[in-house]
Chains A and B, each alone.
Chain A
Amino acid sequence: MGGLTYTMQDTVSLSTSEVYGNVLCELGEKHPEIVGLTADLAKSTKIGFFQEKFPNRFFNVGIAEQNMFSIAAGLAKSGLVPFVSTFAIFTSMRALDQVHTDICYQNLNVKMIATHAGLSFGQAGTTHQCTEDLSIMRAMANCKVIVPADGMETANAILAAYETDGPIYIRINRGFDQKLYDSPDYSFELGKAVELRDGTDLTIIACGSCVYQAVEAAKILDSVDGIKARVLDMHTLKPIDRDAILKAVHETRRLITVEDHNVIGGLGSAVSEVIAESGKGCAFIKLGIPDEFSIIGLHEDLMAHYKIDTNGILENVRELMGRDFEEDDDWEDEV
């Protein structure tokens, strides 16, 4: 990754989507084939920064998401690289037929930057919360799915999306994310998890806003419980980093996934698919929103409510560490 000039200092004052808007402007300066689209959410999604700089390469189609994604397909067919921004729920559901047929099926070079994902727009209620998109978008052939953990990772993801041909879904949050990375210069690679802490007692695999919580939990586990938790930032859900998951199964035997998404179909499902296909056993907990429409509230309150915050992770790790599964199983073949 090169060319990004962001530092921690910049991102302190920028929300995650503001980082996105700025990075897109930087890219737009260098690459005239980048075009922007939104559906009356230029300000909310911060793609409006791009609109201000490049008004002739920007289309606000009004509140018409279906039209927007099909227009993006047409633009991509003509060699342009559309970045399309609306809320995650409208990308993955309102316009899904267009996303499926016009973009993913035709393997077009459209970048879908879906904002206000998960519970991050919690106060807006269930119509605007989006806890199903990862499940839906993971099922779209040709489409890569990225869930950045913070603003800096969003910057890297946007750059990687531009540099990678084909449809890409990037899911970011409304507002500010807890800052995890100080600068963009860490080993971000699409499809490769970032190991934030090493450990051999268990592995916490998280994505999005839950990564910060996982790191905080791991610190406490280390200092209070003496538990060494490995933490993986699984920013790319598709293609998922199978090697990192299998290594974690082999070396730590206990896995917990944490995501701001329904437990069906998202990160937890993706990880469990890899485990199941490997034929290796391990203790496993999926943390996320249970199979229900989430309640209304502030993002941090909702994360606590659904136990995908630091305390929730701690509680589950302690429970998992207490499980006496090893006595019943022969792990000799594993080591």
Chain B
Amino acid sequence: MNELELKKLEKKAHELRALCVDTVVWAGSGHIGGALSAMDMFTLLYYKYMKIDPSNPDWEDRDRFVLSKGHVGVGFAPVLADKGYFDKELLKTYNHTGSSLGMHLDSTKVPGLDASTGSLGHGLSIAIGIALAAKINDKSYTTYCLLGDGECNEGSVWEAAMSAAHYNVTNLITFVDRNKCMMDGPTEEVMKLEPFADKWKAFGFIVKEVNGHSMKELSEAIEFALGEKSAPVVIIANTVKGCGIDFMENNYKWHYGGLNSEKIQQSKESLNNYYNKRVKGV
């Protein structure tokens, strides 16, 4: 990745974080913590890697993305809107009665959304189905799936992991947003996940553990996964819950929340500071 591209991606991630804050405000509240921790992955996938055509959302050769941690729709809908799948104005109706955009996004209502998710622990299996279909249909698309770390408490995630390895589903790239927080507290206090990488390895995955806020590290991991055909790859992205907003960072209490006018102001300022810090020297 050259510097110009990196700068563009950093800028885009910053804009999307800001748009996510706006969307939370319009919605009244939302799962902002996990949306911000995942935003660099959304950005990299949608602005660098995925072969998609927003003017033709159902293009059958497109790459697919399954947001298994479906509760962070409030961070993902801004990405789809920014890509042009629908008018950004629609974000202002988020969670409003009758809107096509709700807390857990519905693929029958939202263009560009490859799966309706929300009940946790389903996404990886759906993604495996989509990836297996590529083989049957002789298609070369790649399927991406993003899991939350707390979500990995669900047994069905490990059923999926087992089958991904069994069927050597290497046209699928799995991410885990390892922000170490869930609704009721830190992941290791609510339900221990460590040794997390070892669990995936034991289930037959090749594990790449990276800084989930480093475009460079994430990008290298994706490049590796795209070329790997011996086993499915999971990218454990170590992230910060609420990344970019100082008072939210690493605080599980910001798994879900709303913002008053003071907090909105504070959030925007904090995001600007964070962005400036990130792009310094880029």
* Complex contacts, A97 vs chain B, CB 8 Å: 119, 122
B159 touches A102 (CB 8 A): no
Contacts of B117 in A (CB 8 A): 101
Q: Evaluate contact between A74 and B125: CB separation under 8 angstroms.
A: yes
Q: Is A281 positioned at the interface, with any CB of B under 8 Å from its CB?
A: no
The answer to whether B167 and A59 touch across the interface, beta carbons within 8 angstroms, is: yes
* Whole-angstrom CA separation of A56 from B138 in the bound complex: 12
Whether B226 sits at the interface, judged by CB under 8 Å, is no
Interface of A is mostly: helix
CA distance A57 to B127 in the complex (A): 17
Q: List 22 A-B contacts (CB under 8 A).
A: A35-B136, A62-B162, A62-B163, A67-B125, A67-B156, A70-B125, A70-B126, A70-B128, A71-B125, A71-B129, A71-B132, A73-B126, A73-B129, A74-B66, A74-B125, A74-B133, A76-B129, A77-B130, A101-B116, A102-B115, A105-B116, A106-B108
Contact B114 A67 (CB under 8 A): no
Looking at A35, A57, A67, A75, the one whose CB has the most chain B CB atoms below 10 A away is A67
Give B120-150 as 1s and 0s: 1 = Cβ < 8 Å from A's Cβ atoms: 0111011111111110110100000000000
Contact flags B153-186 to A (C-beta < 8 A → 1, else 0): 0011001101100110000000000000000000
Minimal beta-carbon separation of B96 from chain A (angstroms): 21
Contact A70 B160 (CB under 8 A): yes
Report if B107 contacts A (CB, 8 A).
yes
- Closest Cβ of chain B to A256, distance in Å, is 40
* A57, A64, A71, A97 — most chain B CB neighbours (10 Å): A71
A106 to B70, alpha carbons, bound, how many Å? 14
> Given A56-B136, A61-B163, A67-B159, do A74 and B116 touch, yes or no (CB 8 Å)?
no
Question: Taking the nearest CB of chain B, how far is it from the CB of A66, in angstroms?
Answer: 4
Find out whether the CB atom of B132 lies under 8 angstroms from the CB atom of A59.
yes
Across the interface, A78 reaches (CB within 8 A) one of B125, B133, B156, namely B133
Note all chain A residues with C-beta closer than 8 A to B123.
70
- A98 near B122 (CB under 8 angstroms)? yes
Chain A residue with minimal CB distance to B167? A59
* Chain A proximity of B211: nearest CB distance (Å): 30
Task: Tell me, in angstroms, the Cα distance from A88 to B208 when the chains sit together.
Answer: 40
A90 CB → nearest B CB, Å: 13
Count residues of chain B with CB under 8 A from any CB of chain A. Answer: 35
A residues 63-105 in Cβ contact with B at 8 Å: 64, 66-80, 97-98, 101-102, 105
A101 touches B128 (CB 8 A): no
With the chains together, A105 CA to B106 CA distance in Å? 9
Docked CA distance A64–B164 (Å): 13
Interface string of B95-111 (1 = CB under 8 A from A): 00000000000111000
CB distance from B21 to the nearest CB of A (A): 29
Asked if B118 CB lies within 8 Å of chain A CBs, one says yes
**Distance of A95 from chain B, by nearest CB (Å):** 9
Please list the 7 inter-chain residue pairs (A to B) with the smallest Cβ-Cβ separation, ordered nearest first.
A74-B129, A70-B125, A78-B133, A67-B159, A64-B159, A71-B129, A74-B130
Tell me which residues from 202 to 239 in chain A have a Cβ below 8 Å from any Cβ of chain B.
none
B223 at the interface (CB under 8 A from A): no
Residues of B contacting A35 in the complex (Cβ-Cβ under 8 angstroms): 136
Whether a CB of chain A sits under 8 angstroms from the CB of B60 is yes
A106 B133 Cβ-Cβ under 8 A: no
Given A74-B127, A101-B116: A66 and B133 interface contact (C-beta under 8 Å): no
Write out the residue numbers on chain A whose beta carbons fall within 8 Å of the beta carbon of B108: 106-107
What residues of chain B lie closer than 8 Å to A76, measured between beta carbons?
A: 129
Q: Decide if B129 touches A77 in the complex (CB within 8 Å).
A: yes
- Chain B contacts for A77, CB-based, 8 A: 114-115, 126, 129-130, 133
Residues in B neighbouring A61, C-beta threshold 8 A: 159, 163
Residues of the A chain whose Cβ atoms lie less than 8 Å from the Cβ of B127:
74
* Cα of A116 to Cα of B64 in the assembled complex, Å: 36
Q: How far is the CA of A61 from the CA of B139 in the complex (A)?
A: 22
- Min CB distance A38 to B, Å, is 13
A75-B132 in contact given A61-B163, A101-B119 (Cβ < 8 Å): yes
